Amino acid sequence: MRADALNVGGEPVVTKLAMKMEDSLQAFAVRAACFIGELDVPFSEEFDGHDFGATHIIAYVGDEPVGTVRLRWFQSFAMPERLAVIQRFRGHNIGSVLLERCRAQAEARGCNMLYAQALPRDVGYWEKQGWRRLVAEDPDAGEKRIVAMVKAVDPSKPLPEIEAPEALVLRRDGRLDSTGMPPGTVSN
């Protein structure tokens, strides 16, 4: 475990990478409470088949798992997703501690860019954490479902502006079929 300079009720907040199944179950329990229980996300959307290829980070207050985020790895960026803190433990910046652990983890792997897909209502949260929109806001775009956000892993090396349209940078993952491969993929 790694200690972070944050206390809740006198207990330090620590973050840990899930190394064994029990750790992953703690991450999944936090997500089930926040996304399925609190935010009405369907189970099939929350547990989308990408959990076993991801790095899971868990925040603890004492022995209690109180927050989590999953980090997926791509060729040119790392992608934090499913950031959640149990409702009664909110208000202590535990989300920020989890995102900083993502940044440090990406840095340790030599990755330069963090990329996330945020709901419009959460863009203010990501901006407070030092993220920016990948594509400038288009006032004529109408109601958006998802916004692409980025952050440099090393704050002294800012990311270049990109020219790609938002439709391209928000490309969604293909659904996985029962073999764990995207539909149509030929497997041997």
Ligand X SMILES: CC(C)(COP(=O)(O)OP(=O)(O)OC[C@H]1O[C@@H](n2cnc3c(N)ncnc32)[C@H](O)[C@@H]1OP(=O)(O)O)[C@@H](O)C(=O)NCCC(=O)NCCS
Q: Which residues bind ligand X (CB under 6 A)?
A: 34, 83-85, 90-96, 121-122, 124-125, 128
Compute the least distance from the CB of residue 185 to ligand X, in Å: 30
Minimum gap (Å) between residue 48 Cβ and ligand X? 15
Q: Which is nearer to ligand X, 121 or 172 (CB)?
A: 121
At position 118, the amino acid (one-letter code) is A
Shortest distance (Å) from residue 78 CB to ligand X? 16
How far apart are CB 186 and ligand X at their closest, in Å? 36
Decide whether 47 or 125 has the Cβ nearer to ligand X.
Answer: 125
Output 96 or 112, the one with its CB closest to ligand X: 96
Closest CA to 67 of 91, 41, 39, 42: 91
Task: Please identify, using beta-carbon distances, which residue of 70 and 105 lies nearer to ligand X.
Answer: 70
